[in-house]
Amino acid sequence: MVFSRSLASAALLSAAQALYLNSDLSFGQTNKVSTDLRTIPNFELQGKPDLPQVLSNKVILTPPAPGNQRGSIWADKSLDFLSWTIDFDFRTTGPERGSGNIQLWYAQNGKQDIGTSSVYTVGKFDGLALVIDQYAGSAGFIRGFLNDGSTDYKSHHSVDSLAFGHCEYPYRNLGRPSRIAVRQSQDNFRVDVDGHLCFESSKIRLPTGYQLGVTAASAENADSFEVFKFVVTTDNMTPDTPSLNSNSNSNTNTKKDNIPANNAWGGSSSSSTDPSADEPASAVPVDAQFADLHNRLQSMMKHISALNRDVTASQSNSLTRYSSLEDKISHLERQMNKLDSLSSIDKKLNEIQADVRQTKADLHNALDRQVAGLKSVVRDTHRTMLGRLPGIMGYVMVVVAGQALTIVGYLVYKKRKNGGFKKYI
């Protein structure tokens, strides 16, 4: 089946890229944030004075009105991986002189220690704060702050001077969501915005076990901050073992929660991890063997469940992408049909143009024929008149002679009348 092959290809591609979706720390990856329009699974909402508004496809941390609002979203679970990527989609709208800020946090006990605070109102915290605001009256800045819990940001005389990296980014009233991508790998820490590098450092290494969260605050002229997507992906499915916080004497917790991937699937491990690895089975009590087998089975089931969730999420993403691709193909087909209709219209226009040209030529030919005929008639009439002109001149001479004789006769009559004898009575 073609669709099954597509899903298999997508799964293989995902495995090849070694990126795994952490659904417990993500929302909005399927363009759907909440189903009940009140809560977000695996996240806690906080707000002052009002809680953030949850819609089906986004969370409004601070509304357009009124101002002086605070809102936050905190993950219930911690991020127990050393290499991870956070894709964070948000949008900011507001009046011309509106202001506010939004922060992305990765901090220890962030839900309790930070809550709805911004980087300017938080006290001591341990972790990372990525701040997006209109720093120094600019159109927008993205800045990174680090703290090990020793600096009180709320009472610090110049919080802005504590930033370790920044870039300019005009984020307000874009009419579209902006995407912030935070990536920590084995040898680098990097922040991208809309697919372009903002800043990076090879000297930063954040520990595991911290909480992820987003906080926003608006001023009197409020900016509205909306979150559409918060997606966390990791390079592996198995949580990394904390090197300093783990208890090596607690074998049960180590095997259940912090066991490396190769041990979880029955691979080899060093003798320091499993002191009884070189002992024969007969030397180990049955209860200990059963407990060890039970722990291993539990760990295996845990990873199988995680794998099942990842496969389900991958299938869901593949279905979403497949539906989106189908919609785009349908839209493209409709556009192609419009192009076909345009080509037929162009053909008809060409035919009409040819008809107009033919009609114009016929009119010109008919006009030329009429003019030629008129010239011929005038020429014939002229010749006829020239041929009849002598006869006409004769008639004219007769008329003129008659008139002359009449005048002469009249003059003779008048002369004789005046020269005769007059009779008087």
Is 15 in contact with 236 (CB distance < 8 Å)? no
Range of the structural domain that residue 38 is part of: 19-235
pLDDT tens digits, residue range 402-412?
888 999 988 88
pLDDT for position 262: 34
What confidence score (pLDDT) does residue 136 get?
A: 86
Residue given tokens 């691979």 in the structure block: 267
Q: Residue 340 burial (CB < 10 Å; 0-12/13-18/19+)?
A: exposed
pLDDT tens across 194-250, in order? 999 999 999 999 999 999 999 999 999 889 999 999 999 998 888 886 544 433 333
Q: Looking at the domain assignment, is residue 174 inside a domain?
A: yes
Indicate whether 52 belongs to any domain.
Answer: yes
Is 317 a member of any domain?
no
Residue 62 lies in a domain: yes
Is residue 205 in some structural domain? yes
The verdict on residue 178 lying in a domain is yes
Q: Which pLDDT value is given to residue 97?
A: 82
**In whole angstroms, what is the distance from residue 304 CA to residue 251 CA?**
21
Question: In the prediction, which pLDDT does 45 show?
Answer: 96
Three-class secondary structure of residue 191 per DSSP: strand
Q: Rounded distance, CA 132 to CA 129, Å?
A: 10
Within a domain: 302: no
DSSP letter for 141, please.
E
- Let me know if residue 372 belongs to a domain: no
The pLDDT of residue 206 is: 95
The answer to whether the Cα torsion of 369, 375, 379, 385 is positive or negative is positive
Per-residue model confidence (pLDDT) at position 393? 77
Contact 237, 307 (CB under 8 A): yes
**Residues 289, 280: contact at Cβ < 8 Å?**
no
The segments of the chain whose pLDDT lies below 70 read: 1-18, 241-287, 389-390, 420-425
The runs of H, that is alpha helices, within 197-285 are 251-257, 261-264
Q: How many domains does the chain have?
A: 1
Shortest CA distance to 132 belongs to which of 180, 86, 194? Answer: 180
CATH number at residue 40: 2.60.120.200
